[in-house]
Amino acid sequence: MTSDTNDSHTTPPRKGKPEERPLYEAARRVLLASVGALALAQDEIEDFINKLVERGEIADKEGFKLVKEIKERRAKNMHKVEDVLSQRMDAALGRMNLPTKADMDALSDKIAALSQKIEELKKK
Q: What digits encode the pLDDT tens for the residues 36-77?
A: 777 777 778 888 888 888 888 888 888 888 888 877 887 787
| Residue 3 covered by a domain | no
- With pLDDT > 70 as the criterion, what percentage of the chain qualifies? 81
| Residue 73 covered by a domain | yes
Around Cβ 41, how many Cβ atoms within 10 Å? 10
Residue 67 sits in which domain range? 18-98
**Count of structural domains, the chain:** 1
| Residue 85 covered by a domain | yes
Q: Looking at the predicted structure, is the pLDDT value of residue 3 above 70?
A: no
Cα dihedral across residues 33, 35, 36, 38: positive or negative: positive
How high is the pLDDT of residue 112? 97
